[in-house]
Amino acid sequence: MSLTLTQKQEIEDLQTQTYATRRVISPNLEEILYQAFPVLDHGFVRVMDYMGDDSAIVQAARVSYGKGTKKVNEDRGLIHYLLRHAHTTPFEMCEIKFHIKLPIFVAREWIRHRTANVNEYSGRYSILDKEFYIPSQEHLGAQSTSNRQGRGHLLSPEQAHYVMALLREDAEQLYAHYEELLNEDSEGNIRDPNKDKLARELARINLSVNFYTQWYWKIDLHNLMHFLALRADPHAQYEIRAYAEVMLSLLERWVPFTYEAFIQYRKEGARFSKNGLAALKKLLKGQKITQEESGMTKREWQEFSEMLELPL
C-alpha cells in the first residue's frame, strides 16, 4: 500500500480531531475511521464518513422516535426479518463514504454499479502517480475453457515470471513516455525548457489500465450489500473481490446485526427457481430426479447440483 506524505498527514490530523454529536454513532467503526486498509500491491480502502447504524434501520422500519425498542434481541430479529423478506427500504437510510485507491481496470468494472455517488481523481488536473498493478504469481491464471470471463489453471512458473516482467516493462516504459509528453519528471522538474508541455488531458491517454486511480465512493447500505453480494462472491474477479472482502470486514464493524443477516440470507444463503424448488422437494422426499425431468437447463442443473453438493 502506498500513501503520499500528504495523505499520511491528513489521516493523522483527522484522527486527532473529535466532535460532540447527538447523532447515533458506530463505536467499532469510529475506531478505524480514516485508517487505510491495504489491498493488492498499492491500493487501499478507508472509511471517510457514515450515517446511521443498526438502530437507524430499526427506527426507519418502525418510523419511531429515538433508537426505537431498547431490547437488543428485538432489533436483531427485526433486521433479520427485513433482509430475509427483502424489505430493503430501511437499509437505504444508512450511508457510508469510502476513499478507495484501485487499478483503472478494476475501477471500470466497479463503476458498473450505478447506485453510488463517485468523484474520481482527475488526470486532467493532476499528474498520475507512478504506481501500477502487477499480479502475483498465484493469481496468474490461463484463460478458462468453460468461462469466457474467468481464469483457469495457473501458468507455469516460467510463464508467470515472463508475464510479470512483460507487464512491468510495459508499465515502466509507458510512464516514461507519459513524463516525456508532460515534459517534466515525477518531481515536477522541467525536462527540456525548449519544448512545450503536452496538455495533461492528452498525455494520460497512453497509460494502461493497470495504473492506479483514486475516488471517493458514497453509497447507501442496501446498495452496498448488493455490491458485496456480487463482488465478494468466489466467482468474482480476484482483484475486485480483494476490495470487497476488506469492505465486508468494515460492514461488520459498522452494522453487526445487518452484517450477520447479510451473511445468513444473502452471501451464504441460496435462492431457488420454481423448477429448482420442485426438484429440491422431490429430493427431500427421497425421490430421484434427472436434469431432463427437472425442467432445468443443463447449466441451471449443474449450478443446482453444485449448490446442494449432488453428484453430477
Active site residue 76: no
Max Cα distance, the chain (Å): 84
Residue entry with cell 467499532: 28
Q: Is 286 exposed, middle or buried (0-12, 13-18, 19+ CB in 10 A)?
A: exposed
The residues facing 154 across adjacent strands are 141
Give the distance, in angstroms, between the CA of residue 301 and the centroid of all CA atoms in the same chain.
29
Ordered alpha helix ranges (H), the chain: 5-16, 27-31, 54-62, 72-84, 104-110, 157-182, 200-203, 221-231, 238-254, 256-262, 274-284, 291-294, 298-307
Q: How far is CA 69 from the centre of its chain?
A: 33
- How many other C-beta atoms can be found within 10 angstroms of the C-beta atom of residue 119? 10
Residues 216/95, Cβ–Cβ less than 8 Å: no
CA 270, 275, 277, 281 torsion: positive or negative?
A: negative
Catalytic residue among 231, 253, 271, 299: 231
- How many other C-beta atoms can be found within 10 angstroms of the C-beta atom of residue 91? 26
With a CB cutoff of 8 Å and minimum separation 6, the contacts of 90 are: 57, 58, 60, 61, 82
What is the SS3 assignment for 54?
A: helix
Radius of gyration of the chain (CA): 24
Cell 456480487 maps to which residue?
230
Nearest of 222, 257, 263, 261 to residue 73 by alpha carbon: 257
Catalytic site positions = 231
